[in-house]
Amino acid sequence: MKTGFLVYVVVAFATLVAPSATQAALFKAAAVISGPNNPPPNAFPGIGFTSFDIDDTAHTMRIQVTFSGLQSNSTNSHAHAPTAVAGTGTAGVAVGLFPSGNPYGFPIGVTSGTFDFTLNTALDATWSNGYRTASGGTALSAEAAFIQAIKDGKAYFNIHTANNPGGEIGGFLSPVPEPSSVILMGSGLLAMFLASGFKKVCRWAPKGIA
């Protein structure tokens, strides 16, 4: 079962960070999302990955997410920025993936799922009002501020659940120089998770892949 689940999550992560045939991102970031990586950290066993492709010429931001093993149903998901200190602390919402009516289609009411949606970063609605105002007042200034927050290690992504409304799994976004580097990083991290007692996450492996 351990081998099957490891293959599943590594393949899922490789899919997230693979270059798109229709979009060559100018800036890419990614994160392993988990309870221990969430700000603030917790011991919940859920795990996942997220990839952000931001094109500041076309003004698009493709967000991809895969996750499993949540302790209760998902209720919301956000990108937050900027924290006061790199790699730690919490911050307000920069981008919400479950606005009124859920037009982006983020999987809500589930303990595992995938998401792939491209937002228009030139639209005010893409950014929270507070973040846009604090970042210069326009959508494009918010876009620039968000990219800088990622470069500074002060932006994170998390998933909120019914039993953990403050965020169950999450992780700080890091710039990615090339997809192959992230695949290697993700593979290594997953191997360490499984070797250090993270094996119980295998209970949530989809049927047929264990």
**pLDDT by residue (tens digit) across 37-87?**
999 999 999 999 999 999 999 999 999 999 999 999 999 999 999 999 999
Residue 43 burial by CB count (10 A; 0-12/13-18/19+): exposed, middle or buried?
A: exposed
CATH of domain 20-176: 2.60.40
Which contiguous run of DSSP H or E holds residue 28?
strand 27-34
What does the pLDDT read at residue 188?
Answer: 53
Q: Compute how many other C-beta atoms are within 10 angstroms of the C-beta atom of residue 81.
A: 27
Ranges of beta strands (E only) in the chain are: 27-34, 47-55, 60-68, 74-80, 93-96, 113-120, 156-161, 169-172, 174-175
Indicate the pTM of the whole model.
Answer: 0.75
Contact between 146 and 24 (Cβ < 8 Å): no
Query: Residue 130: which region, alpha, beta or left (left: phi > 0; alpha: psi -120 to 50)?
Result: alpha
The total number of residues shown for the chain amounts to 210
- Residues of the chain with pLDDT below 70 are 1-25, 178-210
What does the pLDDT read at residue 26?
Answer: 82
CA distance 35 to 193: 12
CA distance 186 to 194: 12
* Percentages (nearest 5) of helix, strand, coil residues in the chain: 30, 30, 40
What does the pLDDT read at residue 183?
Answer: 53
Domain ranges for the chain, please list them.
20-176
Contact between 173 and 29 (Cβ < 8 Å): yes
